[in-house]
Amino acid sequence: MVEMIWLNGMLRAAGAARIDPADRGLLLADGLFETIAVRGGQASDVERHFARLQAGASLLRLSIPLGLAAMARALNETAAANSLEEGGLRLTLTRGPAPRGLLPVPGGQPTLMITGFSLPPPGGPVSVIIAAQVRRDETSPLSKVKALGYLPNILARFEAADEGADDAILLNHAGRAAEATVGNIFVKRGGEWLTPPVSEGALPGICRAKLLQAGLVREAPIEATWLYEAEGLCIGNVLSIRAVARVGGQQVPQAKLQTSIMRL
Amino acid sequence: MVEMIWLNGMLRAAGAARIDPADRGLLLADGLFETIAVRGGQASDVERHFARLQAGASLLRLSIPLGLAAMARALNETAAANSLEEGGLRLTLTRGPAPRGLLPVPGGQPTLMITGFSLPPPGGPVSVIIAAQVRRDETSPLSKVKALGYLPNILARFEAADEGADDAILLNHAGRAAEATVGNIFVKRGGEWLTPPVSEGALPGICRAKLLQAGLVREAPIEATWLYEAEGLCIGNVLSIRAVARVGGQQVPQAKLQTSIMRL
């Protein structure tokens, strides 16, 4: 099947979709994204994703070219065009093509792109390391939004792969646990599930927000040593909640935070 | 005149050049760049730029699809195709289009793009602020390479514009001066010119390297308060060295570091 991409209002075959070489998303990482779950052919939690995108766009002084309802339609159209019943969508918003210069000139046209993807079958528990090379900068306002710059996380993932692990947990500058490379972390301690506050460098994840709202998880700063002492450890995003079986080679007791992200 | 872009081995009109929507440079800021001065129709300091690109590519585990000689040819061809006698080139290297996932799959084809630009006439002294919102993370290995992620610098530039200033100086997490948003800083103190070491979060700039090599500048950590006490202050990159007239609204004595970047 031909992959279909929604790009600036038009659905077209991926091979025919063109990003301008002057796009600031490419040249300066000047943009944001959202990863959205598709369930029963419908984009999930669109209001929450839209709100987070708005917060990011406000920080970046970017305008979102679609309102909530139009964005939901575009997401669902992209899912349908790719015959996605269960899977995911990625929405990318950049400041668009622009003349040279760091300070954007007014009147630019943002780039808004939506792509779809299917999901691999649910995997078993994962092994993680604590990244030594990169830290999450909890002092940056950019840690609170879902910006395009994922190189620190890519470097952490290289480090994990080098040690034969599946993922890495990033510490913040205070030496406490902030998040995994593509998900929030949930640590069971003293019988309850904890997750780092956004002020600790945790991305305000949507799976995380739903777990907090459901009262299944409580916010607390997580000392790095707690990861080794955990009574259970999970990594979650809107696509899955996965149990961690090992941290830095050391076994973690298996404890269930939630049977499935779909039940949230 | 039609702008010509060198893209993966071919020169073509900018309007006909296409970046793949799946390019990891766009989606994850997974790439590097260089800004290169053109003097007399020739790309300057190509060996230094190539060496810095290699250092970045090594950290990112990216392969550079061209050797030094072929890159110099591509740069000069792009300058010629755009009739650039004096100006600049931007070389962008990304990991290229790839399937979804943070960890790159082997065998991907990097994207290498070169664009040309003319320069505005040399400007007078600039005014700067010290950015309050974002800091340069001197602990990150990414601060030592020229990676695509420029959002912190864009936010700093917004802050400068809000205060009617031209540029912003970023402090590192230790509270010392690291660099400006698109150039290194040079601070005159006790009669000599100082610039922060790379370990302080300064990008290993090529203008900076040449000034150090010429013995015109010495490396030293720069306390933020020294900016206000400076006997002279400049911001430099390969395109220009500009004097700073005001820091945070306070006047800075005018002192010449170097009459021109062209003489280095």
When pLDDT is cut at 50, 70 and 90, the band that residue B123 belongs to is confident
Q: Which of B4, B61, B148 is the mutation pick for testing A, counting most A CBs within 10 A?
A: B148
Please determine, for residue B260, whether its predicted confidence score (pLDDT) is greater than 70. Answer: no
Within 13 A of B19's CA, how many CA atoms are on the CB side?
32
B32 CB within 8 Å of a chain A CB? no
Higher local confidence (pLDDT), B122 or B261? B122
Looking at chain B, the whole-number percentage of residues with pLDDT higher than 90 is 93
First to last CA, chain A: 32
Neighbours of B12 (CB within 10 A): 16
Model confidence band, residue A264 (pLDDT cutoffs 50, 70, 90): confident
Name the pLDDT band for A259 (thresholds 50, 70, 90): low
Structure confidence by residue, pLDDT tens digits, A138-173? 999 999 999 999 999 999 999 999 999 999 999 999
Chain A interface includes B237 (CB < 8 A): no
Contact yes or no for B223/B257 (Cβ under 8 A): no
CB B123 within 8 A of CB B239: no
- What phi and psi, each to the nearest 5 degrees, are found at residue B7? -135, 115
Query: Where in A17-86 does DSSP place strands (E)?
Result: 31-39, 42-43
Considering only CA atoms, give the Rg of chain B.
Answer: 19
Is the pLDDT at B148 greater than 70? The verdict is: yes
Whether B28 sits inside 8 A of A151 (CB atoms) is yes
A18 and chain B in contact, CB less than 8 A: yes
Q: Is the pLDDT of residue B103 over 80?
A: yes
A209 falls in which pLDDT band (50, 70, 90)?
A: very high
Contact B33 A27 (CB under 8 A): yes
Buried-exposed string B97-114: b where 16+ CB fall within 10 A, e elsewhere:
bbeeebebeeebebbbbb
Write down the mean pLDDT value for chain A: 96
Torsion angle of C-alpha atoms A151, A211, A115, A126, degrees rounded to 10 = 60
User: Minimal CA–CA distance to B246: which of B122, B124, B123, B129?
Assistant: B129
pLDDT at residue A42 is higher than 80: yes
The pLDDT-based confidence of A260 (bands split at 50, 70, 90) is: low
Contact A29 B33 (CB under 8 A): no
Average pLDDT, chain B: 96
ipTM of the complex: 0.97
Q: Which residues of B touch A59 (CB under 8 A)?
A: 155
Pairwise CB contact (< 8 Å): B14 & A22:
yes
Query: Is the pLDDT score of B102 beyond 80?
Result: yes
- What is the rounded average pLDDT of the residues B85-108? 96
Q: Which residue of B has its CA nearest to A92?
A: B27
The arithmetic mean of pLDDT across residues A202-227, rounded, is 97
For residue A262, pLDDT over 80 is answered with no
pLDDT at res. A156: 98
CB A110 within 8 A of CB A96: yes
Segment B18-75, tens digit of pLDDT: 999 999 999 999 999 999 999 999 999 999 999 999 999 999 999 999 999 999 999 9
Asked which of A47-56, B120-129, B198-207 is least confident by mean pLDDT, the reply is B120-129
Q: Is the Cβ of A154 closer than 8 Å to some Cβ of chain B?
A: yes
The C-alpha atoms of residue B109 and residue B86 are separated, in whole angstroms, by 32
Secondary-structure breakdown of chain A: helix, strand, coil percentages, each rounded to the nearest 5: 30, 30, 40
Percent of chain A exceeding pLDDT 70 equals: 98
A154–B140 C-beta distance less than 8 A: no
Name the closest residue on chain A to residue B18, using Cα atoms. Answer: A18
pLDDT tier at B259 (50, 70, 90 boundaries)?
low
Residues on chain A touching B117 (C-beta within 8 angstroms): 100
pLDDT digits (tens, 9 = 90+) for A86-139: 999 999 999 999 999 999 999 899 999 999 999 988 889 999 999 999 999 999
In this prediction, residue B257 has a pLDDT band, given cuts at 50, 70 and 90, of: confident
Q: Is A214 on the interface with B (CB under 8 A)?
A: no
Interface of B with A in 94-123 (CB under 8 A): 94, 100, 102-104, 113, 115, 117
Query: Which residues, numbered 172 to 211 in chain A, qualify as contacts with chain B under a Cβ-Cβ cut-off of 8 Å?
Result: 173, 181-182
Q: What is the pLDDT of residue B122?
A: 84
Find out whether A69 and B193 touch, Cβ atoms under 8 Å: no
A150 to B29: CB separation less than 8 angstroms, yes or no: yes
Asked if A60 lies within 8 A of B141 by C-beta distance, the reply is no
Q: How confident is the model at residue B109 (pLDDT cuts 50, 70, 90)?
A: very high
Nearest residue in chain B measured CA to CA from A159? B103
pLDDT higher than threshold 80 for residue B261: no
Q: Does pTM surpass 0.90? A: yes
Is the pLDDT assigned to residue B1 strictly greater than 80?
A: no
Nearest-angstrom CA–CA distance, B91 and B76: 12
- CA B17 to CA A15: how far, in whole Å? 14
